[in-house]
């Protein structure tokens, strides 16, 4: 049986709003948290900065830094502040800050560490790789390169898509060690291929997850994604992760069993998004131990001013505290 440490080490793999909610709650219960972020984002503010300055994508790292920050509300809001006019229209201050430090030091890892010091983060944020990469999806005979294009892609093949990076990339050594040293590794909710699986196709990531003695927990998305995960159940998400990580790598699958309100459902079904299905018959198909908890926040997120991608972001969120408490119970189980 795994020993229970007085200061358990949590590693969260993902990116975007899914990791933000998870980290925001987890920092209230754990001190040693490492967020490993995807490096394939090339849309919106992040994409512009990558194209213009040749930097690594700052957006997901910024969101994780703000989530783990113990600084004042004003400081956190500063890093998330988006300009809504002028030359910086659509850019967040945090993205510009990280870009400036990377240009100054030629070291994205250093930029993230400095931002972490400024924001007084609980834990640390690490890029999954330090290579400049693009996400590639092979869907039948169709090949699509670039996360912002893949995000809108309607998958047409009967087979699940092939996911890769161009060029190939090796895992950040610090990220690899964090996975191996962890007590719990959490696969965060979010865009399945862009935010999560994009990490697994970094050379060395899957191997580290297979080798770690940590409990590996997959947190299932709240809603399906039109064109990519239509009509998916909890089992479908679990099986797709298993396709990349191998059988037996994930120990627990954590999913929401709280029903959405009529107001929440009306906003989502119009966009073709539906709550992820679950029932006993479906859950029996999952190899890992499945745990259902009321994880859906009763509040609906409003888009932030200046956010060019607001119309593409999910406004239904996990309840940070409920999710963190469920994860802590898994650690102590």
Instruction: Determine the pLDDT at residue 311.
Output: 45
Confidence of residue 267 (pLDDT cuts 50, 70, 90): confident
Mean pLDDT of the chain: 92
Q: Do the bridges between strand 134-139 and strand 162-166 make them parallel or antiparallel, or are there none, so unpaired?
A: antiparallel
Q: What is the widest separation between alpha-carbon atoms in the chain?
A: 58
Three-class SS of 236-273: HHHHHHHHHHCCCCCCEEEEECCCCCHHHHHHHHCCCC
Task: Scan for tokens 């809603």, then name that residue.
Answer: 223
The pLDDT > 90 percentage for the chain reads 83
Q: Please report which helix (H) or strand (E) contains residue 293, including its range.
A: strand 289-293
CA dihedral 249, 65, 226, 244 (to 10 degrees): -20
Instruction: Return the minimum-mean-pLDDT range out of 148-152, 191-195, 216-220, 267-271.
Output: 267-271
Using the predicted structure, report yes or no on whether residue 310 has a pLDDT greater than 70.
no
At the fourth CATH level, the homologous superfamily of domain 9-332 is: CofD-like domains (3.40.50.10680)
Q: Do the bridges between strand 289-293 and strand 252-256 make them parallel or antiparallel, or are there none, so unpaired?
A: parallel
pLDDT single digits (tens) 45-85: 999 999 999 999 999 999 999 999 999 999 999 999 999 99
Instruction: Determine the pLDDT at residue 303.
Output: 52
Q: DSSP letters of 62-107?
A: HHHHHHHB-S-HHHHHHHH-B--SSTTTT-BHHHHHHHHHHHHHS-
Confidence of residue 309 (pLDDT cuts 50, 70, 90): very low
Using the predicted structure, report yes or no on whether residue 315 has a pLDDT greater than 90.
no
**Residue 174 has which token pair?**
């610090």
Region 120-134: mean pLDDT is: 96
196: left (phi over 0), alpha (psi -120 to 50) or beta: alpha
**Peptide linkage before 172 cis (omega within 30 of 0):** no
Confidence of residue 313 (pLDDT cuts 50, 70, 90): very low
Q: DSSP letters of 200-216?
A: HTSBTHHHHHHH--SEE
Instruction: Determine the pLDDT at residue 157.
Output: 73
The pLDDT > 70 percentage for the chain reads 93
Q: Please report which helix (H) or strand (E) contains residue 116, including its range.
A: helix 108-119
């Amino acid at each position: 049986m795994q020993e229970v440490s007085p200061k358990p080490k949590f590693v969260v793999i993902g990116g975007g709003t899914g990791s933000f909610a998870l980290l925001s709650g987890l920092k209230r219960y754990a001190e040693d948290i490492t967020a490993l972020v995807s490096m394939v984002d090339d849309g919106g503010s992040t994409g512009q900065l990558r194209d213009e300055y040749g930097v690594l994508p700052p957006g997901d790292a910024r969101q994780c830094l703000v989530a783990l920050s113990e600084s004042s509300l004003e400081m956190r809001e500063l890093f998330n502040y988006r300009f809504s006019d002028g030359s910086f229209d659509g850019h967040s201050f945090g993205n510009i800050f990280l870009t400036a430090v990377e240009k100054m030091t030629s070291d994205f890892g250093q930029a993230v560490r400095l931002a972490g010091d400024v924001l007084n983060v609980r834990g640390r944020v690490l890029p999954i790789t330090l290579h400049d990469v693009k996400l590639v999806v092979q869907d039948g005979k169709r090949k699509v390169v670039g996360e912002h294009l893949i995000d809108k892609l309607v998958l047409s093949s009967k087979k699940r898509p092939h996911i890769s990076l161009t060029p190939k990339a090796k895992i950040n050594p610090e990220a690899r060690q964090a996975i191996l040293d962890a007590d719990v590794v959490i696969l965060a909710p979010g865009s399945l291929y862009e935010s999560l699986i994009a990490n697994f196709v970094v050379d060395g990531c899957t191997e580290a997850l297979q080798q770690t003695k940590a409990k590996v927990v997959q947190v299932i998305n709240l809603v399906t994604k039109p064109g990519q995960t239509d009509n998916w159940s909890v089992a479908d998400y679990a099986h797709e992760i298993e396709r990349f990580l191998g059988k037996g790598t994930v120990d627990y699958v954590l999913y929401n069993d709280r029903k959405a309100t009529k107001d929440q459902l009306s906003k989502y079904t119009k966009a073709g998004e539906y709550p992820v299905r679950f029932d006993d018959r479906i859950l029996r198909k999952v190899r890992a131990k499945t745990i259902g908890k009321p994880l859906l926040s009763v509040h609906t997120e409003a888009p932030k001013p200046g956010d060019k991608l607001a119309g593409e972001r999910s406004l239904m969120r996990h309840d940070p505290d409920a999710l963190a408490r469920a994860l802590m119970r898994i650690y102590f189980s």
